[in-house]
Structure 1
Amino acid sequence: MKKSHFWGAIVTSIAVSLGLTGWTSTAVHADDSKEIIFWNPFTGPDGTSMQSLVNQYNKTNPKYRVKNVSLTESDMYSKIPTIVNSKKGIPDLQIVHVERIKDYVNNGLLDSYNSYLKDFSGINKDNYVPEAWINGAYQGKRYGVPLDIHTSFMYYNKKLVKKYAPHALDDNIVTFDEIKAAGKKSQKDDVAGMGLTWWKPLFLSLYGQMNGELTKNGKDPDLNNKTSHRVINFYKDMHDKKITTQDGDDPMQLFLTGQQIFLPEGIWMNNQIKESDVDYGVTNAPQLSADPQKIVNWSSSHQFVLLKQPKRDKAKTEGTLAFINWVRTHSLKWAESGQNPASLAITKDPKYLKMQQSFLLTNKVEQDSMTIFNYRYNGYLADYLDRYAYDAVFNKTSVSQYLNKMQNTVQDEVDAQMTN
């Protein structure tokens, strides 16, 4: 498969699972009616799950019914600054990725929840996964209430693990050394050791394991450093030794057809993999260390936020929090879409406990492993990593050129925003 087709397949798979393509609803704007207009980027299978949640809530006969409006992610994010600055057509409730919150606050796009939370005691830190809850606050105020915490972990082929890495899963931590050892054996049978999938989580997870920092002052990126060089050269070495998949390979297809041992991927891909015939299990993302206290699993979070309104309706805002609070204790449908709800109430649901991704929430060590890389300008870094991905690993450019360009590209974007 050509590289363009390979990346197209990955982007499409991620988009379908995360709700970035597919059906969209007509954009509906907020007004003074007894209806909460709720914008979100869930347009795929998870869009169907969210609509089901909204329907369930509306059947409880709330004072303010919820109108679910699903937009493609790119369209939604492009609309937000425009409608907030126009002060017209602003939705009552909005979902954004947690990494956007700091930048949105600094650009005057969000209202705080603080004055409303006293009437909703269930929305508090004790009822949510700490990493998702902590990152919804900024400068001492609560701007986001987490819907979920979605994580990139690793799938493994049980038959191939038994053959090439029989003890790798004994502690539920598969180290890179174990992957390398298995890959050296399996390549003789034309079986890949590990798939090179979505670059951003793979890069950031290992960067975090190496104690890398994305910024030193909270503003300017610090990306062209020794740790970044180590990360890319680490994957480059695995690639050059053919431990991993190669340029042009389709890691998902290789895994589904029994030609790959390990597949680092998001929990949101599980429903797709379930439809195959492969006998598989799930575990943590690949790790440098077997020490449970050092596990880093890249994560992000969809968060409920309040876009800034010129005159906020107190009663309707309380209605939005009533919906958020209801979702907190009715998250099973969201878990079934392949996500991990951020509300810890889900850990008491027997149906959820049978789901493969549940180990990340039911174990304190695993909860602590979920890491959100919440740099204010994370979006610019993510754009670069997604655009240029494995160019240095696949020897299409040097590591130094790749990182120098990454540093300059992100810095230029930061500087441009600071001057606007």
Structure 2
Amino acid sequence: MNNILQAGPAPAKPAIIRRKPWWRQLYIQVLIAVVLGILLGHYAPSTATSMKPLGDNFLKLVKLMVAPLIFCTVVHGIASMGDIKAVGRLGLKALVYFEVMTTLALIIGLLMVNLFHPGSDMHIDPATLDVKAIAGFTQTAHDQTVVGFLSHIIPKTVFGAFTDGDILQVLFISIVFAFGLQALGETGQPMLKVIDIGAHTFFNMVRIVMYVSPIGAFGAIAFTIGQYGVGSLTSYARLLGTYYITAVFFVVVVLGLTCRLSGFSLYKFLRYIREELMIVLGTSSSESALPRLMGKLERLGCDKSAVGLIVPAGYSFNLDGSCINMTVLAVFIAQATDTYLSLGQQVTLLVILLLTSKGAASVSGGAFVVLAATLGTIPGFPVAGLVLVLGVYRFISEGGALVNVIGNGIATIVVSKWEKVLDEPTLHRELERGPTPTQSTLP
């Protein structure tokens, strides 16, 4: 009897995780939807193009919640921190990391396109190209300046940032509001609690919307294949091959080494966010995964304030995939039109893109508009050559969106570790276990 009392209570049995059948897992459903969309786009293109509203409306649903979700997360994260200097350190370290990574992305893209020469056999006369198809992009690009970009950060009204859905403007309003709320001290605590409840509410709304993500992915990919055709993939096989080899190299080597130096596995991280990557693959939009990515990073042990600040900022300043596609496409156009770019001109191109790429998320058309603006600054460069890549750009931007999401997820973990706001035991435990189908991916 005494032995039993000394031994204490029997250890509790480990909880049994009941996994859903494979066909009920979100990333499997999205993958099936993507395959069905490709088949429909190939065999019934006219029907497939009519599926466009499915993808567009799904993205509208997600973007509807992105702005208020960023606002609530950023405000609660910053206002909850007692040390304003800590916020400044976190932001500064994030910006340094972003600059290093985007510079590496631009350099690697430049090296790879010069190595593979994807456009050297085309010999196209720029005078024969019809520029009507890119008129809207070049006009928007003409309006993009450094001063214009900086001025664009400040919205016309407080609510204008939310109605336009501009991430950079929402981030600006959120940071200013957070500091104002923090200055109130105890008086502002009721407001802080309401904002926290609001964040959880919007995360729940995202969870509901994600049930229809396979339908959105089906519509988006069906339209893309139906509109541009599989033939555009074969015609530009060398360009696509160069781009995706470069993107994979950047993720595996550069981001993989970054993960290793930070003490975690790239493979396990990719496995952990596989559902978000499948959603991006289907919709060709990195914004579609933003809310879920933020939720998963919190589950991986990143501090809420770090997630709220780094991820939205990264969507404007850490667009690694977009940087790669801009350098690859710029040199490809030069090669295809037999336009000689000296080493000095290519270095100039890289330096200009270091600045202009930061505005890629602030305009409609993103990297394509920034590319048009950048090419226009190089004397003698045939900007009309953008017509050559217009049809295949959708497939390239899809890869860019995937790299952007991966890069921003890793950036959040790395910078959180630098600032010592990362729960490393939680990170390793979650990565080792992987996301369970029964686990909520949102806070």
Shared topology, TM-score over 0.5?
no
Q: Say which structure, 1 or 2, has more relative contact order (CA 8 Å, 6+ apart).
A: 2
- Give the TM-score taking structure 2 as reference length: 0.25
- Give the TM-score taking structure 1 as reference length: 0.26
Choose 1 or 2 for highest CA Rg.
2
